[in-house]
Amino acid sequence: MNPKDRVRRSIERRKIDRVPLALHCGGPGSAYEKLRQHFSAQSGEEILQKMEIDIRGVFPRYVGPSERSTVFEDGVGHGLTTEFGGTEYMKCDYSGSDGIAGTYSDDLGNRPLKDCTSVSEIENYQWPQIEWFDFGNIREDCIKHKQYAIVLGGWAPLLSRLFELFGMKTTLVNIKLRPNMLHAAIRKITDFYCDFYDTALSYADGMVDIVGWGDDFATQDNLMISPESWRSFFKQPLVRLFSLGRKHGVYTFFHACGAIRSIIPDLVEAKLDILFPVQPRAKGMDHGEIKEEFGDHLAFWGGIDVQKTLPFGTPRDVRQEVRERIRVLGRGGGYILSSSHNILQHVPLENILAMYEEAVKTKPKYN
């Protein structure tokens, strides 16, 4: 069974030889360099092959204004997106990383819409344009990885994008004081995403398997805004995005970490196919309960704990958790195994290897 078949059959709840594997590890402070050195790898692709990862990503090339550039790291890295004009990522140094980190502070970085008070100011802002991207490489990249499940996208936020453009405090205040202005900004953001992903999927010509987006709506304990506000501002834009999957005949996934339990029914109603990353230590996110309640409607991607088990457990603890997640989330299919968030550099190498070694040899149950 090749990787593409394995992923598609798992999403469709059909029998597979093993659970599909994905790797969520990239960017400053991640364990990527540790893996590269361990495998003596010259590229991210070589790491993915040696770890038997079933998924590959494709993305168009940025050709727009340099001051609004989008940089994507090789192979397994995160995209560092600034094409909307907010400075979400900035230089920092933590634990000698000499890297970058994000902030949504109103006072750190560029918040271009912070002082806006009217819908007309939102309409007149220079929003990104499709012409800033060259989609010509997508088909070629899909062909190059044709035996793998191809994923397009991964991080296209709405709330987090508002934080980037307005600042976090200003956004939260404007939910109450200037909702029409935020609705206008969300509409502009969503319009761009819809055009962007519709174009990219058209260039892929049926070779993409999964299209995905992501946002941060929650903390460890709850949503950052009320469920009612979330539904008012964000549910219909997600309905629009997820509909692109049905239009192009591909599955949809959505990244929403933290305690999102109260809006999972809304994601189901919006016709999402795959929920990522299933953060097991967040409040209300018991994976067994979520599988029991939503497993007929959603496939799950993630689930291996990055807060305690991977960084602080033993390889034996990791292997035990992998077997348990496959037993629960993989029961009857509908599971792609990966960490519940980015694997950081302090995670012991032996724990990362144990996770994937155990996943390869543990068979999902069908009953």
* Residue-by-residue pLDDT tens, the chain, 367 positions: 999 999 999 999 999 999 999 999 987 788 999 999 999 999 999 999 999 999 999 999 989 888 787 554 433 334 455 788 876 555 555 555 555 566 788 887 778 999 999 999 999 999 999 999 999 999 999 999 999 999 999 889 999 999 989 999 999 999 999 999 999 999 999 999 999 999 999 999 999 999 999 999 999 999 999 999 999 999 999 999 999 999 999 999 999 999 999 999 999 999 999 999 999 999 999 999 999 999 999 999 999 999 999 999 999 999 999 999 999 999 999 999 999 999 999 999 999 999 999 999 999 988 6
ω before 20 within 30° of 0 (cis)?
A: no
Q: Who's near 299: CB < 8 A, 6+ residues apart?
A: 10, 11, 13, 251, 273, 274, 275, 333, 334, 335, 336
Tokens found for residue 184 = 């206008």
Question: Could you give the domains of the chain?
Answer: 3-361 (3.20.20.210)
For position 297, what pLDDT does the model report? Answer: 97
For position 7, what pLDDT does the model report? Answer: 98
Contact (CB, 8 A) for 197 and 241: yes
Contact (CB, 8 A) for 340 and 280: yes
- pTM for the model stands at 0.94
> Residue holding tokens 């035990």?
320
Which 3 state secondary structure label does DSSP give 282?
Answer: coil
**Burial of 19 per CB tally in 10 Å (0-12, 13-18, 19+):** buried
For position 74, what pLDDT does the model report? Answer: 39
For position 96, what pLDDT does the model report? Answer: 52
Residue of 53, 21, 27, 50 lying closest to 38 (CA atoms): 50
For position 107, what pLDDT does the model report? Answer: 83
Q: Compute the residue count for the chain.
A: 367
Positive or negative: CA dihedral 49, 50, 52, 57: negative
Contact (CB, 8 A) for 59 and 65: no
For position 94, what pLDDT does the model report? Answer: 53
